[in-house]
A and B are shown apart, each in its own frame.
Chain A
Amino acid sequence: MRHRSLLIITTAVAAGSLVLTACGSRGEDSGGKSGGDTTVTIGLDAPLTGDLSALGQGIKNSADLAVKTANKKKEVDGVTFKLQALDDAAQPSAGQQNANKFVADDKVVGAVGPLNSNVGQSMQKVFDKAGMVEVSPANTAPELTQGTNWRTGKKERPFKTYFRTSTTDAIQGPYAAQYMYNEKKLKKVFVIDDKKTYGKGLAATFKGEFEDLGGKVVGTDHVDPKEKDFTAVANKVAKAKPDFVYYGGEYPAGAPLADQAKKAGLKGPVVGGDALFSAEYVKLAKKNSEGDIASSVGAPLETLDSAKEFTKNYEAAGYKLPYEAYGGYAYDATWSIIQAVKAVAEKNDGKLPEDMNDTREQVSEAMQDVKFDGVSGKVGFDEYGDTTNKQLSLYEVKDGEHKPVKTGTFEED
């Protein structure tokens, strides 16, 4: 008898927790039109939980700040913005679900996000079908805007509703390669990636440029980013004796990899893309992160006038977590949607079209011509939906902090 009651309790608990999960994901239904004022929602998708949550929360807070600023300034007359943030936990399937949710909600005018390129890939089609604009602050895989054949020079934009405020790996990897080869004078590299869309692409573009310059790749390997044990790879790196390691991947695996490679005897730094440019990286790799280099898109926020106001407002808003690597781009992405909505409203005598489908379509079209001075510099989009701002920066870890060492525009040679 006791067995049965235990089973019943277990079932009840399981069922209860399922119900609770369902409650948590239900969107709010308030808003809508009231007294001539229109409320529209901007969707946001980012990993708010999980390993990459530090970056995701920074994106969410920055987008929130953009929405609040727009409402306070009455940026678009008669339109109030609302932000609805959904968590994708860095999973493509979750991202796609969220995209479907946004599309189905007739108050959502456009979406900001996601963080991961492979998540972005899963969301593009959904938004494109609905004609809804998506602006990613962080996707860097070139194929998202330039098609799968971008490497051969046959660029073709697959989805016209997709935009991004970050630059692509096509220039991020080579930029780091030029710096390491020309300025740091390091000629031997060991290249590691995590086989994900972002990491693989980044490592490939780095390797291509580094070899073109005359550098030598003394070894390559791949790691499973779900693991923490990289001793075997670390030993291989130590044995190959490279001048430095290039890692295409994100900080949750990048940090322990750097830590273990240095413990195994790697003498040079670990270099990587913007997904290593996080305070979490330093926290996890501790003092073995000293000297490591990360590239990131745009100029360091502290050096741009347009960014000073952002950092000040961000602090004043009292968010619990820092804006991290993509905060500025998230703010700009959100702001570009707001600007597109503004353009549509102006075209339609100060009002948005009655039908949300019309609004979405017009906003997507207006996005192509949006231009403003953003947090990350001049924001605008080229014919592929990529940002026209091709600035890049490199940051080196010194005394436990990423300090900018170089900013410039990538030049193809």
Chain B
Amino acid sequence: MNDLPQQLASGLILGAMYGLIAIGYTMVYGIVQLINFAHGEIVMFGAFGGLTAWLILPKGTALMLALPVMLVMAVGVSVLVGIGAERFAYRPLRNAPRLAPLITAIGLSIMLQQLIWSFYPDAKKARTFPQFGGESVNILGANVQRGELFLLIAAPVCMIALGFFVAKTRTGRAMQATSQDPDTAKLMGINTDRIIVTAFAIGAAFGGVAAIAYGLKYGQIDFKIGFILGLKAFTAAVLGGIGNIYGAMVGGVVLGLAESLATAYIEHIPGMELFGGGAWKNVWAFVLLILVLLVRPQGLLGERIADRA
């Protein structure tokens, strides 16, 4: 049986999710050269925001109707946490050595996890997330779950909107200017503080969308989901060339495909029987990262090596 379409579809779906989250890393890095390691937890907060919306809505509400509310709530919560992180954890350290905000980010990520663990009702174990019922849809020979369709629609829509925003709006152009040279941008009258907050907010909003996609895809969320998701998305961002928003998406898709195909096919290569299978997928994902960095240190779509180290 030819299952290549299925593996490609799975990889693409997974990759779209990584890509959405990777935007959060790449936008922030592109503008302030900071790796926001708490971004995975911002996504996790969004997922719990979405779940809260679902729980508050009257029982029996159709998921199709509830989805917009959940989406707004998830994005809202993520953006709030993202902006809060910027304002209280990163801004005070903006002129500190590069290491300080990195450590703060790790601390922040653990703090956010523990907040959910301690205060969200019943969050010490996995919480179920509403899911679309019904049969999966066959697209070009691959089975795609209804919940995953959301991702396939949301990811391109978000990307196009972001591309338009960055290229065409005043704020978007100010963003590009700030990312090229923040000091000169400031001299030109750009309010760089506002631009940085915007970058955090946009990244977090994408994270909120990804959070809903995650919940719909897997049907359950817990306080730890941010860690692996964040790490994978960060990898995607680096793969694509950190700082480049299209790179984030490309990196995500490449990573998702690599994971899916490696798990399915590597064990069929003679001599590699031992190295296939589910337990190895993260190994291959990171092997790929190392290979790309060795051959093309700036990432797939990266144009320049950070010139303001």
Contact = CB atoms under 8 A, between A and B. Distances in A.
B156 interface: no
Given A222-B277, A252-B125, A284 B3 contact: no
Interface in B108-163: 124-126, 128, 131, 136, 143, 145
Contacts of B93: 3
A125 B96 CA distance: 49
A3 B260 contact: no
B34 to A, nearest CB: 16
B278 A263 contact: no
B171 interface: no
A389 B228 CA distance: 43
B192 interface: no
A49 B223 CA distance: 12
Interface stretch (A180-188, A206-214, A225-233, A269-277): A225-233
B235 interface: no
A216 interface: no
Interface stretch (B6-14, B194-202, B242-250): B6-14
A232 B264 CA distance: 7
Given A3-B96, A259-B219, A286-B219, A221 B278 contact: yes
A71 B228 CA distance: 48
State the majority secondary structure of interface residues on B.
Answer: helix
A369 interface: no
Contacts of A230: 278
Interface string B240-280: 00000000000000000001100110000000000001110
A231 to B, nearest CB: 5
Contacts of A223: 278-279
A256 interface: yes
Interface residues of B, number: 36
B1 interface: yes
A53 interface: yes
A148 to B, nearest CB: 23
Interface in A231-246: 231-233, 235-236, 238-239
B191 interface: no
Given A235-B264, A264-B143, A54 B125 contact: yes
Nearest to B279: A222
B279 A231 contact: no
Interface in A155-185: none
Nearest to B147: A263
Given A235-B264, A256-B219, A286 B279 contact: no
Contacts of B219: 256, 259, 284, 286
A283 interface: yes
Given A228-B218, A229-B14, A236 B92 contact: no
Given A224-B279, A231-B260, A280 B92 contact: no
B125 A286 contact: no
Contacts of B128: 283-284, 286
Contacts of A284: 126, 128, 219-220
B279 A195 contact: yes
26 contacts: A10-B107, A14-B107, A53-B124, A192-B278, A221-B278, A222-B278, A226-B224, A227-B228, A228-B218, A229-B14, A230-B278, A232-B281, A235-B6, A235-B10, A235-B260, A236-B277, A236-B278, A238-B3, A252-B125, A255-B220, A265-B143, A280-B125, A280-B126, A284-B126, A284-B219, A286-B128
Interface of A: 2-3, 6, 10, 14, 49-54, 192, 195, 221-224, 226-233, 235-236, 238-239, 252, 255-256, 259-260, 263-265, 280, 283-284, 286
